[in-house]
Structure 1
Amino acid sequence: MNSTIIQSPDVCLNESTQKPLDKLVDNLQNEFSKLQPEGYYGHSETISELLNNYINNCDDWKEYVFYCPFRYTRNLIARTDQFELMVICWRKDQPSPIHNHEDQRCWMGCVNGKLQETYFVYKSTKSTYGCGELEKSYVHPIDNGSVGYITDEIAFHMMESIEDESVSIHLYSKPITECNIYCPITGTVSRRKLGYFTQYKQKVQCNTAQPQAQPQAQPQAQPTNPVLTTPPTTTLNSNILNVN
């Protein structure tokens, strides 16, 4: 299966000088070209191993670290028809909402700090099938250097940093453009459109679920852990938008 890849312009043509993150993207591209007996592309355990090997041996993910004072940020590294890869930057008290994954697979590797993942299911069915009030079914940490995995069959979930700052690499297959957001008390479900805070290390000018055209020029070097400020009242560059 052929799939056009969109990623940062830093990819080196010479494999011997290729950055580790670019090599990870190439390996993922290769793995996600393989149709599995279950009907999806890419072997889940192999993908977990690729991500685990990268997060425990490489640190060029730091080039994609951008924080926001008001919310966690989604920073796009690469995207194809079969997967999207991003760095998510968290500060304490910037949790995600409770959400689903649109029947897609999600891997997350913590590369800095420490995250906490909370599973939710419907109280009436003890599963993700049903309606009404939600309840917590499992709470566990995702430590620096470990990889988590979730699907909608497992649970809905909420992610948050339990340290002042944390960074994680998230891999979704296939890319997710919208998802459900759940109120645990009332059971209300709303739809939200997903976008990016930065794409290929460049701050986006408007929130969009579709990646912008790949930049032609090499982007200027960014300082470590920069803070890009956006007023909380504007929809520009927010990483999640409500769908009216």
Structure 2
Amino acid sequence: MVSDKRTLKAICTLKRLLDLLDQAGGPVPPPGLFAALERYKPNRDELAKYQAFSRGGYRRNLIHTGPGYQAWLLCWKRGQFSPIHDHSGSACGVRIIQGVAAETVFRKRRDGRLVRGKTFTHSVGTVIASVDQDVHTMGCMADAAEDLVSLHIYSPALTGMKFYPEELVVKVSPSRSRQSALASIAPVRGVSKRVKRPLAASIRASKARRG
């Protein structure tokens, strides 16, 4: 088991990152997952063999399947976005490798309709943390300076996503839309949700709960 002190250091290779996550022996606790992604220092060369784009839509490239997670490299050409979706029982940690990601979040109402929230832009090095029923869409703006590449780790492994059609998004009046337009755009930000609990501590707690 890796000590807390050692875990706090930078994770400098993809293999080291995956080895740490494998130590959980099952689903990785979200705090540990997000903390590991924050400490990971990507090497573009070691990720290059997984990088592939598609003109028909963003492309998901499988890197590794662990005991309780999967790691994917997602590649987005300019103008490509995911549908509105959640992660259906999985936590998802994302680290931006190249480009700038645009993410719009939604709030689910009791009647099942969606309320559009803020749109965030995430620069290289940002870690985006989401869990289970968080609803969002993500992609690469059409006028971006370069295509987008992002590392996604789902725990447990993602077996399906729930998609939400645009028709479920509550429409706002034009006047209200204009008034809220500036307020709804957030600036480029760094790590979206910072998690202080070390990865090793989270893994030990998870194993203790499983007995």
Same fold (TM over 0.5): yes
Task: Note if 1:101 corresponds to 2:93.
Answer: no
- The 5 Å alignment of 1:194-213 reads none
Larger % of helix: which?
2
Q: Please name the residue that 1:161 is paired with.
A: 140
Deviations 1:56-84 (Å, cap 9, x if unpaired)? 35221122110111111100011134100
Q: Please name the residue that 1:147 is paired with.
A: 127
Aligned partner (choices 39, 44, 55) of residue 69 of structure 1 = 55
Give the secondary-structure state (helix, strand or coil) at the position aligned to 1:182: coil
Task: State the TM-score, normalized to the length of structure 1.
Answer: 0.58
- The 5 Å alignment of 1:229-244 reads none
- The 5 Å alignment of 1:49-88 reads 49-54=35-40, 56-59=41-44, 60-88=46-74
The gaps in structure 2 that reach 5 residues or longer are: 1-11, 170-211
8 Å contact kept, 2:63–2:73: yes
Give the secondary-structure state (helix, strand or coil) at the position aligned to 1:181: coil
- The 5 Å alignment of 1:164-179 reads 164-179=146-161
Q: Report which structure shows greater RCO (CA 8 Å, sep ≥6).
A: 2
- The 5 Å alignment of 1:6-45 reads 20-30=13-23, 32-33=24-25, 41-45=27-31
Aligned equivalents of 2:157 and 2:111: distance in 1? 25
* CA positional deviation for 1:186: 4.0
Query: Structure 1 95/152 Cα, relative in aligned 2: closer, same or farther at 3 Å?
Result: same
Deviations 1:26-78 (Å, cap 9, x if unpaired)? 11111x337xxxxxx43433322322222x35221122110111111100011
8 Å contact kept, 1:135–1:184: no
Task: State the TM-score, normalized to the length of structure 2.
Answer: 0.66
Aligned partner (choices 138, 162, 166) of residue 180 of structure 1 = 162
Does 178-187 or 164-173 show the bigger shift?
A: 178-187
Aligned equivalents of 1:151 and 1:130: distance in 2? 21
Give the secondary-structure state (helix, strand or coil) at the position aligned to 2:68: coil
* CA positional deviation for 1:135: 2.0
Aligned equivalents of 2:42 and 2:75: distance in 1? 19
Aligned equivalents of 2:56 and 2:76: distance in 1? 10
8 Å contact kept, 2:105–2:136: yes
Aligned partner (choices 121, 125, 136) of residue 116 of structure 2 = 136
8 Å contact kept, 2:112–2:168: no
Aligned equivalents of 1:43 and 1:179: distance in 2? 20
- Opposite residue 137 of structure 1, the aligned amino acid is G
